[in-house]
Amino acid sequence: MKKLITAEDLTQIVSVSHPVYSPDGKKAVFTKVSVNEKKDDYNIHLWVRDEERGELSQWTFDDGKHHQPAWSKDGKQLAFILQKPKEVPQLALIQSDGGGIRTLTNIPYGVSQPVFSPDGAFIYAAVSLKQEESVHDEKKEERDDFAPAVYDDLTYKADGRGFLDGRLTQIVKIDVRSGEVEMVTSESHHHVNHVVSPCGKWLAYIQSNPQTFYISDICLLSLEDGTSKKITQSTGAYTTVSFSPNGESLLYIGHEREFENATFLSLWLHDLKEKKTVQLSEMLDMYVGNCMAGDSVMGEANQLPQWTKDSQGFYALVSDQGSTGIYYFSIEGLAYPVRLEAEHVTNFSLHPDESKMLISRLSPVSPSELYELTLGESSLKQITFEHDDFLKEHVISEPEPISFQSKEGDIVHGWLMKPAQMEEGKTYPLILEIHGGPHAMYGHTYFHEFQMLAAEGYAIVYINPHGSHGYGQMFTDRVRGSYGDVDYEDVMLAVDHVLEAYDFLDETRLGVTGGSYGGFMTNWIVGQTDRFRAAVTQRSISNWISFYGISDIGYFFTKWQIDGDIYDSVDKLWDRSPLKYVKQVNTPLLILHSDEDYRCPVDQGEQLFVALKELGKDTRLVKFPKASHDLSRSGHPGQRIQRLTFIQEWFREKLS
C-alpha cells in the first residue's frame, strides 16, 4: 500500500544540481542539497562522476555547505566554497587524484564565487567588505547590539540580508600555493559574477551602485594595469557575463528596462575588437533563463551559457509556456531548441567534446535528478536516483494541462492536479494556487506543497495569468498598472473552467492561497468575492501606501507595478490595496508571514489581521521568527514543515 505525501516528507527531497565537467571531460562534479539529520539546516555535498566508468563518488562528507565548484584548467584541482556550521564561508581546494580538503582562506567576512585563472596559479573570488575592513583582518569587530544604527542612503535593508551595514562586494585574487590574498577591485560599487578571459589578461563582471542596484553594468578590467571600462551605458540590468573561448567576444544576459522588472532577459554579444554590441535574441519572444516557480529546488547556482569550442555559438536556458529547457544560439542570432519538453531544467554542463550534456532536471512527478543528454537524441539517461524509493513508496498526483480563453482573447494555460486518491461518485474540494512575482511562471516541475494538498484530498488548479513569464513580452507586461483587473479575471475564469470540465469538483468547497504577489491576489480575491470558503495568504501585500516605505524595494517596485507613488498617487495606491476592501471580507483567512521578511514586510500581514479582527472576521495570524521572504523555498526546514502544516490544517478545518 503506497503512502500519501505529508508535510514532513519535505525532508526527503534532495536537490541534485550544478553539474560541471572537468576540462578533459573525464570527470563531472555536481552538488546534492539535503536536510541535515537535526532538520535545522541543509548540507551541500560535492559528488563526482567518473565519465569512463560511470561511477559516482562522494568527495565531501562533513556537515556544512560545500558548493560553487570550479575546476582548474588542467583538471587537477577543484576549488569550492566551504561553509562549516555556524562559520562564514571560505575558499577550499581538493586534488582530483585524491587527498584531503585544504582550506585556502581565513577571511572573517566570507568568500564566494571562485574562478581559476587559466594557468591555475590564482583564484578570483568575491568578498563582502566595509570600506574600513580588510581581507587581512583576523576577525570581525564585535558588534554592539545596543549601538544606534545610522543610515544616509535610500537602500538600507535587503530581504535575506537584513539591515545593511555598508558592505560592498569586491573581487580578490588568491594565490593557490600560498593563500595570499590581494584586492582586485575597490570602487564603491558591488562587483559580482566575475569571469576571467581565456588569455588571463581580463576580468569581466557585473557592477552596480548599492543605491540603484536595479541598474547594473557589464565591466571589463585589465589585470595587467588595473584599468576598467564599462561596456554598457548604466541604463539596464544584467545578470550574467562570459567570454567566448577565442576571447574575442563578451556574451551577457540582461535587459534595458523597457518594461522595468517585467522586461524579458535577452542575450547580448559584444565584439571586443570592434567595440560593437548586438542583441542576439531580439526576435525571440521568450525569457532567457529559468523563471519557474517552485518549492523543491535549493542551492541553485547562476547558470553560465555554455560556448562551443569554435566560438560560433553557445547553449543557454530558456523558459517558455511552463517549460524550462535549453536552446542553441549562433553568434549570428539563429536559435533553435535543443531540449524543451514538459520539464524543468535548472542547470546543465556541455561535455568538452560537445557530444553530450549533463542536466539537472525536475518533472511534475519527480524532484531533481541528474541526467545525461546525448545531443541529437531525445532520450535521457538517468545518472542519479535519489528519489527512487520515495516515488515508489508514495502516491504522486500527475497534473493535467488546461487552457481557456481570457476575456481579452488570449489563451491562458494552467494545470489541474487531482486528489491523490479518489472514489467513484464522490466530490472533492478545489484549491486555487497563485504564484508570486508577478513575473514568474508555474510549470512542469515538482511542487511539494501541491502534492501534499492532493494527498489531503484536494484538487489544485494553478495557472499562468496575465503578468506571468513564458507567454511573450506583452502578456507579461499586461498586468503592470492594473493589479486586480485582468489577472483577477484570469484566475476566476480558471476556477469556472475546471468546475465545468471536472464533475468531481465541489463548487461549494473552494479554497485559495498564494505567496508574495500571490498573497496580494489572495487578499484581493477575498475582498471582491465570497465564492471561497477558506483562504491562506502568505508573505502578502495588503497596503501599497505603507509598502512604499517599508519594503526593501517598495519605493521603485510600487511605481513600476502599480504606476503610482505616495506623493501624487495615494488614491490610486489605496484603490489597489486589499486593506481598503476589508469590510467586504467574509472568507476565513489564515495569514502566514515571516518576521524578518523585508520584501513584503510583516506589517502587511499585521495590518490586515488587526483590521479583520477588529471587524469580528474569522482570521488568524501566524508569524515565523527569524524567517525571510524565501521561507517556503529555502527557509529553516522545521519552519517549512510548520508552514505546510498550518495550510493543511486550515483548509482541513474550513473545507471539510
**Cβ contact 518:434 at 8 Å:** yes
* Domain limit, last residue, from 362, 377, 393: 393
Can you read off the three cell numbers belonging to residue 432? 486555487
Encode pLDDT of 252-275 as tens digits. 999 999 999 999 999 999 999 999
Both 354 and 403 in a single domain? no
Number of Cβ within 10 Å of residue 339's Cβ equals 22
- The pLDDT value recorded for residue 274 is 94
Quote the domain boundaries for residue 504: 396-655
Our answer to whether residue 516 is catalytic in this structure is yes
Residue 637 belongs to domain with CATH number: 3.40.50.1820
Both 359 and 429 in a single domain? no
- The pLDDT value recorded for residue 191 is 96
Both 340 and 422 in a single domain? no
Encode pLDDT of 465-495 as tens digits. 999 999 999 999 999 999 999 999 999 999 9
332 lies in some domain: yes
DSSP 4: P
195 lies in some domain: no
Both 309 and 441 in a single domain? no
- The pLDDT value recorded for residue 235 is 96
Does 138 score more than 90 pLDDT?
A: no
Identify any residues that bridge with 308 across adjacent strands, giving them in sequence order: none
Does 217 score more than 90 pLDDT?
A: yes
* Domain limit, last residue, from 362, 393, 424: 393
- Tell me which of 17, 368, 516, 546 is the catalytic residue: 516
| Residue range 332-354: mean pLDDT, rounded | 96
Can you read off the three cell numbers belonging to residue 369? 535528478
608 lies in some domain: yes
604 lies in some domain: yes
Both 350 and 383 in a single domain? yes
Beta strands in 223-379 (DSSP E): 228-230, 237-243, 249-255, 266-271, 276-279, 287-288, 306-307, 313-320, 323-330, 335-339, 344-350, 356-363, 366-374
Cα separation, 346 vs 12, whole angstroms: 19
Q: Is 15 helix (H, G, I), strand (E, B) or coil?
A: strand
Does 227 score more than 80 pLDDT?
A: yes
- Closest of 249, 280, 248, 243 to residue 265, by C-alpha: 280
- The pLDDT value recorded for residue 438 is 97
Q: What share of the chain is helix, strand, coil (3-state, %, to 5)?
A: 20, 35, 45
Does 166 score more than 90 pLDDT?
A: no
Both 439 and 388 in a single domain? no
Both 381 and 400 in a single domain? no
Both 383 and 420 in a single domain? no
**Cβ contact 172:181 at 8 Å:** yes
Cα angle, residue 531 at apex, residues 528 and 537 outer, rounded to 5°: 65
Our answer to whether residue 189 is catalytic in this structure is no
Can you read off the three cell numbers belonging to residue 499? 468546475
- In this prediction, residue 454 has a pLDDT band, given cuts at 50, 70 and 90, of very high
Cα separation, 178 vs 78, whole angstroms: 16
Both 331 and 285 in a single domain? yes
- In this prediction, residue 586 has a pLDDT band, given cuts at 50, 70 and 90, of very high
Residue 380 belongs to domain with CATH number: 2.120.10.30
- The pLDDT value recorded for residue 467 is 98
459 lies in some domain: yes
Cα angle, residue 72 at apex, residues 68 and 77 outer, rounded to 5°: 85
**203 vs 212, which has greater pLDDT?**
203
53 lies in some domain: no
List, as one string, the DSSP characters of 202-244: EEEEEEE-GGGTT-EEEEEEETTT--EEESS-SSBEEEEEEE-
Both 437 and 572 in a single domain? yes
588 lies in some domain: yes
* Domain limit, last residue, from 374, 393, 412: 393
Rounded to 5 degrees, φ, ψ at 51 are: -70, -30
DSSP 645: H
How many secondary structure helices (H) and strands (E) does the chain include?
Answer: 11, 39
Encode pLDDT of 231-258 as tens digits. 999 999 999 999 999 999 999 999 999 9
Does 139 score more than 90 pLDDT?
A: no
Both 367 and 434 in a single domain? no
**Cβ contact 478:465 at 8 Å:** no
Whole-model pTM: value is 0.97
- Tell me which of 189, 190, 629, 636 is the catalytic residue: 629
The whole-chain average pLDDT of the chain stands at 96
Could you tell me what percent of the chain has a pLDDT over 70?
A: 100
User: Do β-strands 344-350 and 335-339 pair in parallel, antiparallel, or remain unpaired?
Assistant: unpaired
**Cβ contact 278:300 at 8 Å:** no
Q: How many domains does the chain have?
A: 2
Can you read off the three cell numbers belonging to residue 252? 551577457
Q: How far is CA 625 from CA 295, 297, 608, 636, in A?
A: 20, 23, 19, 10
Sign, CA torsion 141/144/147/150: positive
Does 144 score more than 80 pLDDT?
A: yes
21 lies in some domain: no
- The pLDDT value recorded for residue 98 is 78
Both 544 and 567 in a single domain? yes
